[in-house]
Amino acid sequence: MTRPFYQKVTCEVCGANFPKCPECGEEGLHVSTPFSRWLRNLLPPFSGDFYSLHNLDYVWNRYGKGFDDKGGRIILPKKEQWFMLMEEKRNGADQKPNQYYLHKMVSDCLHAGAKQLGIDYRGYYLVIFEKSTPSNSAWVKINKNKYHQPIDAIVYLLSRGSMSGYTEDIPS
């Protein structure tokens, strides 16, 4: 059977963990959707012995730029459009090996297929925050590279679809 989905929720102000709902006292907060919980509770043959269930956090797509004089979105020519995948981890947590291998397989397939279709796929990015966002973290790791200016690093990634060429000035 696929392992139950359980997640502690951490208060971003004081850092306290809430393994129970503060309202009703239910054990384990379900931050997944009802369908996700339903899938995780399936009986064989759809158990963890045969299948694996993962989600992928973000597909980031640059397809437009600004608005025209009538308020409509300006769609970029295909050669200027691109997309990437991102998986987010919080509180310094790393990715589990089985999730890594599945996400790598998806990314490899996208690289091959996008190239054949003339689509600019810029890759898969594992984003690990020290805490939970660029704003409350002292660092962020993007594909195992640690950056100490998390807001700048994330904005750079989101605006370019790559960390290539990014440098940060770290005071000594």
Same domain, 137 and 93: yes
Same domain, 24 and 106: no
Same domain, 121 and 104: yes
Same domain, 42 and 92: no
**Average of per-residue pLDDT values in the chain:** 83
Percent of the chain exceeding pLDDT 90 equals: 52
pTM here? 0.77
Render pLDDT for 89-131 as a digit per residue (tens, 0 to 9): 999 999 999 899 999 999 999 999 999 998 999 999 999 999 9
Same domain, 37 and 20: yes
**Contact (Cβ atoms closer than 8 angstroms) between residue 165 and residue 127:** no
Q: Tell me how far apart the alpha carbons of residues 172 and 165 are, in angstroms, rounded to a whole number.
A: 21
**What's the domain count of the chain?**
2
Please enumerate in sequence order all residues whose Cβ is within 8 A of that of 136, keeping only pairs 6 or more positions apart, or say none: 12
